Amino acid sequence: MRNVGILGVGQTDFVTKRTDVTYPELVREGAQLAFDDAGLSMTDIEAVVVPLAPDALIGIGNGERWLIESIGATGKPVMRVNNGGATGASAVEAAWMHVASGLFDVVLVAGADRVSESLSAQSVLNKMWDVAYERPYPQNTITMLAMSAMRYNHMYGADERDMARVTVKNRRHASLNPHAHLRELVTEDDVLNSRILAWPLKLGDVCPSSTGGAALILVSEEYASRLKKPVAWIRGLGQNTETFWMGDRVGPQALGDHADADALAVAFDRAYAQAGITDPTSQIDVAEIYAPFSSVEFHVIEAAGLCGRGEAPALLAGGAFHLGAEGVVVNPSGGTQCTNPIAVTGTVRVIEAATQVLGRAGDRQVAGAKVAIASAIGGDHQFYSTFVIANHLDPIGHP
Amino acid sequence: MNFDISKFIPIVQRRRIDVLMKERVDMVVITAGHQIAGERIETASLEELIFETVSTAIAKAGIAPESVDAIVMSGNDQTDGRIISCMVTAGPVGGVGKNVTTIASGPEHAFAYAYLRLLAGQGKNAVVVGWSKPSESVFPEHAELVSADPFIVRPIGMNRIIAAALQASVLPEAERSNAHSESANDPLISWPLTASDCQDHADGVCAIVLESREPGHVDGGAWVRGVGWAMDRYDLGDRDNIEAGGLTAATELALKQAGDSFGPIGTLDAFAVGAPNERRLAQRLTHLLGDDKTESFPSIDCLNPDFAAGLFAIWRAAQRVMSPVQPNAPHFAAAAATLGFAAQGVTVVLMSDLSEV
């Protein structure tokens, strides 16, 4: 199998709304940043993968066709991935396949989202559920994850203050990240006193609707060796799929449990097996994991094997997972909870992981980071995508 | 405007299939497939059709559901009436617990992606699924309309037929009218396309099983010798509408993989909206492949479920080399399909019944 690396990355600053650019222009912004970072131009790119999840949010079907000229992809192979919220990461996996197949040496992943362009993102997202059964509740991503949070708290004795601690950590991290959308520091009481959206989730627990673009460039080892530039290597990757039906994660016949993320754990295991990770707690330095709401971060940390089930809240309360703490730092960028441009959120997770292992993360840099993981979640906690990224191709050992 | 789109493709050292064969590296072969299609299927839901199609395809391939390594699928959210349609279809395709990827730009691209997965050594098999069931949509033309940019193309009421008509209107007269002309039984739909020039809306699901195998003989298999895909400019006014956008680039990419030993192709299945455009696509592709005597099968005589038509064309072409029904059946086949308004993108698939050079 060919080794595949990340040569260049780019992300715009994420905000609530951009009225100065169209969707194709926003994609171009992210792509240009990646070109500049890699020292390449579109002429060097052999194929393009576009992450674009609910295109209803940007108001145009198959928007990937609209952006062709904006990035200069006329005449090139272009395909679009849509795995819900996991799209941004699944697109990186798709680009990895392009290079690993041996057919391409340089592939661009470029996308953008304008979540707040729709008048009500949650009304749009309600339309992802079954027409007759779950849509009329009405189900949306907030009520869905409220159920998950309730179940997790019930199973493992966590509470709303535990959830608030996640927000406080992520906001502190985001304050150090110039690209992050929500960068203001908050206290636990700020979160606990914020408006309830769907108990136990409050405004302070949830992600924003973000607008911005992101891109990265994958290259083969042979191509990278000619450039002699530092490359973040994708050492392992995995995907897995959970049941669509919310009701199938409840009761004695359940395929899963809303408290846990067992299907995500399988996706991590697949990536770890490829990368040679046998003890995530000691072999990983940074985790850029997809957790749009505070409550989600707990079971993603556990699915990644960074601690046991139900242990994450107590570890966080004890100071773990913070920048500067011993052990794995979780979401030093502020994570999805502080920036969520849905189509490229997974791409940003991979970009942040790559940036960390290359030692280029500025104020949010985890000292000595060599190995990072990234993950994304799509649908109703249904599609999972995971990566192991390192700054070397040597066997990943123990410290 | 006339320009050689192939100049946009950088010349790189690509992995040629004939080199892979000499190295005994695994190649990709279509071992089975299944399709269900009808003008308006009211006896089964989309999910039921998908389940039946995929189940039948993997059973034909002799693969147990638990042994499927990856599933790549494609549909159109707006036509399906969901904003992330793959969520509800991931179950019927058998995706729970598996690697599922939705390639939303088109089922032909999903086919290309499954091929890339296997060349990359990610699993020994992959199932490609494409679907479309416009009969469940109140007004499928609306789904087409929202796929047009909101500033220029959408306000003029663009849809696939109007776009195809614009494309056909610039063809030389002999090419746009050699089959049909307006009559009482064949009314004009959008000049120069008459009713019989246009594929009707249709429902259907197509599933194709790809496997990674050592070069050799596979009973009833179609070896994938090359896959190329490319996009052209978005706006109709910005490009040469006589050509199917990206055809030259897509063909070049596919031929680079197939190597010099590929061909001559004996059979071609092409899909483009509108009979004149489809004839033009078939003619240009056979010319690019260096064989103007290829037998071409028009899709106009087949059911072409709206957003899955390209995968149906690939499956039709594959079957011609998988199950030869006549002594002099062709050894090499090609499929080509367009997607988007007036063929903004083209995919070309080259296949053969033999892996040997």
Model confidence pLDDT, tens digit, residues A65-84 = 999 999 999 999 999 999 99
List the structure tokens of B71. 């599933």
Q: What is the pLDDT of residue B343?
A: 87
Residues 150-179 of B with CB under 8 A from A: 150-151
Contacts of B101 in chain A (CB under 8 A): 81, 83, 90, 93-94, 239
Contact between A72 and A42 (Cβ < 8 Å): yes
**Residue A10 lies inside a defined structural domain of this protein:** yes
**Residue A389 lies inside a defined structural domain of this protein:** no
A-B C-beta contacts closer than 8 Å: 207
- Which residues partner with A78 through β-bridges? A48
Q: What is the mean pLDDT of residues A178-200?
A: 98
> Shortest CA distance to A299 belongs to which of A336, A261, A272, A332?
A261
Q: Is A239 on the interface with B (CB under 8 A)?
A: yes
Nearest to B231 among A53, A68, A82 (CB): A68
Q: Is A46 on the interface with B (CB under 8 A)?
A: yes
Phi and psi at residue B261, to the nearest 5°: -80, -5
Residues 284-303 of B with CB under 8 A from A: none
Q: What is the pLDDT of residue A251?
A: 87
Contacts of B97 in chain A (CB under 8 A): 240-241, 263, 266
Nearest to A82 among B6, B86, B121 (CB): B86
Q: Is B148 on the interface with A (CB under 8 A)?
A: yes
Q: What is the mean pLDDT of residues A230-252?
A: 94
C-beta atoms of A244 and B229 within 8 A? no
Q: Is the pLDDT of residue A303 over 60?
A: yes
Contacts of A242 in chain B (CB under 8 A): 96
Q: Is A103 on the interface with B (CB under 8 A)?
A: yes
C-beta atoms of B100 and A44 within 8 A? no
Q: Is the pLDDT of residue A391 over 80?
A: yes
Nearest chain A Cα to B229, which residue?
A77
Cα gap A351→A52, rounded to integer Å: 17
**Residue A37 lies inside a defined structural domain of this protein:** yes
Phi and psi at residue A342, to the nearest 5°: -45, -50
CA Rg value for chain A: 19
> Shortest CA distance to B336 belongs to which of B260, B265, B259, B269?
B269
Q: What is the pLDDT of residue B139?
A: 84
Q: What is the mean pLDDT of residues A113-127?
A: 88
Q: Is B230 on the interface with A (CB under 8 A)?
A: yes
> Per mean pLDDT, which range of A125-139, A185-199, B78-92, B107-121 is the poorest?
A125-139
Nearest chain B Cα to A382, which residue?
B87
- For an interface test with B, the pick among A65, A106, A120, A126 (most B C-beta atoms closer than 10 Å) comes out as A65
Q: Is the peptide bond before B298 cis (omega within 30 degrees of 0)?
A: no
Q: Is B147 on the interface with A (CB under 8 A)?
A: yes
- For an interface test with A, the pick among B12, B76, B225, B231 (most A C-beta atoms closer than 10 Å) comes out as B231
Nearest to B86 among A44, A77, A83 (CB): A83
Q: What is the pLDDT of residue B9?
A: 35
Q: What is the mean pLDDT of chain A?
A: 96
Q: What is the pLDDT of residue B325?
A: 57
Q: What is the pLDDT of residue A234?
A: 98
Contacts of B100 in chain A (CB under 8 A): 83, 239, 241, 383
CATH number at residue A36: 3.40.47.10
Predicted confidence pLDDT, tens digits, chain B (357 residues):
333 433 333 333 344 555 554 554 689 999 999 999 999 999 999 999 999 999 999 999 999 999 999 999 999 999 998 889 999 999 999 999 999 999 999 999 999 999 999 999 999 999 999 999 999 888 888 888 888 988 888 998 888 899 999 999 999 888 876 555 667 688 999 999 999 999 988 999 999 999 999 887 777 899 999 999 999 999 888 887 777 779 999 999 999 999 888 888 999 999 999 999 999 999 999 999 987 788 899 898 899 998 999 999 999 999 999 875 566 778 899 999 999 888 899 999 999 987 664
How many Å lie between the alpha carbon of A78 and the closest alpha carbon of chain B? Answer: 6
**What does the DSSP 8-state code read for residue A44?**
G
List the structure tokens of B14. 């690509």
Q: For the stretch A281-306, what's the b/e string if a residue is b when 16 or more beta carbons lie within 10 angstroms of its beta carbon? A: eebbbbbbbbbbbbbbbbbbbbbbbb
**Residue A80 lies inside a defined structural domain of this protein:** yes
List the structure tokens of B156. 């003029």
**Residue A76 lies inside a defined structural domain of this protein:** yes
> Shortest CA distance to A303 belongs to which of A333, A271, A327?
A271
Question: Is the model more confident about A254 or about B217?
Answer: A254
List the structure tokens of A212. 């911005």
Q: Is B77 on the interface with A (CB under 8 A)?
A: yes
**Residue A247 lies inside a defined structural domain of this protein:** no
Q: What is the mean pLDDT of residues A288-305?
A: 98
Category of A61 on φ-ψ map: left (φ > 0), alpha (ψ -120 to 50) or beta: beta
C-beta atoms of B122 and A60 within 8 A? no
How many Å lie between the alpha carbon of A22 and the closest alpha carbon of chain B? Answer: 10
Domains and CATH numbers, chain B: 5-135+201-347 (3.40.47.10), 139-197 (no CATH)
C-beta atoms of A53 and B82 within 8 A? no
Q: For the stretch A33-59, what's the b/e string if a residue is b when 16 or more beta carbons lie within 10 angstroms of its beta carbon? A: bbbebbebebebbbbbbbbbbbbbbbb
Nearest to A81 among B88, B90, B103 (CB): B103
Domain range for residue A64?
4-119+210-220
**Residue A67 lies inside a defined structural domain of this protein:** yes
Q: Is the pLDDT of residue A311 over 50?
A: yes
C-beta atoms of A76 and B91 within 8 A? no
List the structure tokens of B26. 């695994």
Q: What is the pLDDT of residue A158?
A: 98
**In what side-by-side order are the strands of the sheet with A371-378?**
A78-81, A47-51, A106-114, A211-220, A4-11, A232-241, A383-390, A371-378, A286-288, A329-330
Residue range A332-354, pLDDT digits in tens = 999 999 999 999 999 999 999 99
Q: Is B122 on the interface with A (CB under 8 A)?
A: yes
Nearest to A103 among B77, B119, B231 (CB): B119
How many Å lie between the alpha carbon of A38 and the closest alpha carbon of chain B? Answer: 17
Q: What is the pLDDT of residue B24?
A: 46
How many Å lie between the alpha carbon of A338 and the closest alpha carbon of chain B? Answer: 23
Cα gap A95→A100, rounded to integer Å: 9
C-beta atoms of B87 and A266 within 8 A? no
Domain count, chain A: 1
> Shortest CA distance to B287 belongs to which of B265, B307, B305, B304?
B265
**Residue A329 lies inside a defined structural domain of this protein:** no
Q: Is B214 on the interface with A (CB under 8 A)?
A: no
Q: What is the pLDDT of residue B214?
A: 87
C-beta atoms of A46 and B10 within 8 A? yes
